[in-house]
Amino acid sequence: MRGTIPEKVTYIFNSSYISTSSTDSEEEKCIPAFVSNAKSKTCKQTGKRWANHRKYNYQTQTYSDNGEVIEFTLPNTPLKNLKIRGYDKTYHGASAWKVIVPVEGHNFYMDLREDSLKDAILNAGIQTGGVLNGEWIWAVVGSERKLTRVGSEAYENYKVNSTRKTMKEIKKDFEKGAVYKNISNESWVYLGKVNFLRKVIDSNHYLESNFHFEKHKDVDLWANLKNNRLDDISYYNLRFGKTPKLYQKVEQLEISPNYIEDLRNLIVLEVHNYAYYVEHLVMQDASIPNKPLSSLNLSSSLLNEFTSNGIDVNNVIF
């Protein structure tokens, strides 16, 4: 189960929602708020934009600023006495229950996902008036910040995930044939560094199909591994350059010296739309002497495209 528990969170809201009247109802004192992982600059910037444009003028069809953006950061310690206030059914994205979350003397009006509410009702109970039993923390699940009950199955999974190191913390000198796991329990195998050509279409002249070939050297090649078998790898399993979000090495597989060449030949038989998968068709192992393009099992039409783009197919291109 994906998700982690940040050490600190940042609450962001607009000052125009702070009520100074003692006669206001509980609902009128609620403050719509945005929460962010305190370490995420991008998420906090999103929250500030959200909080800076809370009032919409339907006559001018514009947003206006009606107060200052306020933010404060707190440890992600358990919250209590969450109170259900309604259900927000949206046309875009997931719908959510709305709850009042007491934080530092403020009553924040925030989202509670349906699965979290269901867990709370079944396993912790709910009081008269809609107050949820139990303690709650914020979890980060993908791009979502999610209220999660302490002690729930999701919480226990997020807690374990939070103790795992990311690949950046483990190492950067990956071992060829090493198999790693991600949080979703998928296996990824490192296949070494490759050189390849990528077909790039000029977006300004797309209808004319203008394009050129980019050379890429010493790029890390990863493959999503099924059943820990190298012979199950296909072109749609491959990832060039970007390291998957992995945390643990689990196995070491033997990679034959000709594995990349064998894999490339297999892809040639599988791929029909070579314009999109051209990098798979011409990839070569960067650690061994490379063959000229003319010696590879490529279609004559693809070789002609290389030639027309000024690439000498009779010589090593990398």
Q: Is the pLDDT confidence value at 74 over 90?
A: yes
pLDDT band at 96 (very low <50, low <70, confident <90, very high): confident
Q: Is the pLDDT confidence value at 51 over 80?
A: yes
- Tell me which of 22 and 309 has the higher pLDDT: 309
CB atoms within 10 A of CB 143: 9
Q: Is the pLDDT confidence value at 77 over 70?
A: yes
How far is residue 251's CA from residue 181's CA, in Å, rounded to a whole number?
10
How far is residue 116's CA from residue 154's CA, in Å, rounded to a whole number?
9
| Contact assessment for residue 248 and residue 224, using Cβ atoms and an 8 Å cutoff | no
The residue to which tokens 């107050």 are assigned: 131
Cα dist from 222 to 183, 244, 248, 313, whole Å: 17, 8, 15, 27
pLDDT tens track for 182-206: 767 788 899 999 999 888 877 665 5
- Which pLDDT belongs to residue 9? 96
Angle, in degrees to the nearest 10, between helices 274-282 and 300-308: 90
Structure tokens, 172? 């950067």
The arithmetic mean of pLDDT across residues 111-135, rounded, is 92
The arithmetic mean of pLDDT across residues 260-288, rounded, is 84
- Which pLDDT belongs to residue 18? 81
- Which pLDDT belongs to residue 186? 83
Structure tokens, 268? 């040639």
Lowest mean pLDDT among 74-88, 196-210, 249-263: 196-210
pLDDT band at 247 (very low <50, low <70, confident <90, very high): confident
Helix (H/G/I), strand (E/B), else coil: 305: helix
Lowest mean pLDDT among 122-131, 232-241, 270-279, 305-314: 270-279
- Which pLDDT belongs to residue 209? 62
- Domain boundaries in the chain? 8-162, 167-308
pLDDT band at 53 (very low <50, low <70, confident <90, very high): low
Q: Is the pLDDT confidence value at 216 over 60?
A: yes
> Mean pLDDT for the chain?
84
- The fraction of the chain above a pLDDT of 70, given in percent, is 84
- Say which DSSP state 235 is in: G
The arithmetic mean of pLDDT across residues 33-46, rounded, is 93
- Tell me which of 254 and 272 has the higher pLDDT: 254
- Which segments of 125-236 are extended strands (E)? 136-141, 144-149, 178-182, 187-201, 211-225
- Which pLDDT belongs to residue 83? 94
- Tell me which of 45 and 243 has the higher pLDDT: 45
The arithmetic mean of pLDDT across residues 177-185, rounded, is 81
pLDDT band at 95 (very low <50, low <70, confident <90, very high): low
Residue among 138, 148, 159, 143 at smallest CA distance from 11: 138
Q: pTM (2 decimals)?
A: 0.58
- Which pLDDT belongs to residue 160? 84
- Which pLDDT belongs to residue 124? 92
How far is residue 90's CA from residue 35's CA, in Å, rounded to a whole number?
19
- The fraction of the chain above a pLDDT of 90, given in percent, is 36
Lowest mean pLDDT among 7-16, 62-71, 254-263: 62-71
- Which pLDDT belongs to residue 63? 61
- Tell me which of 186 and 1 has the higher pLDDT: 186
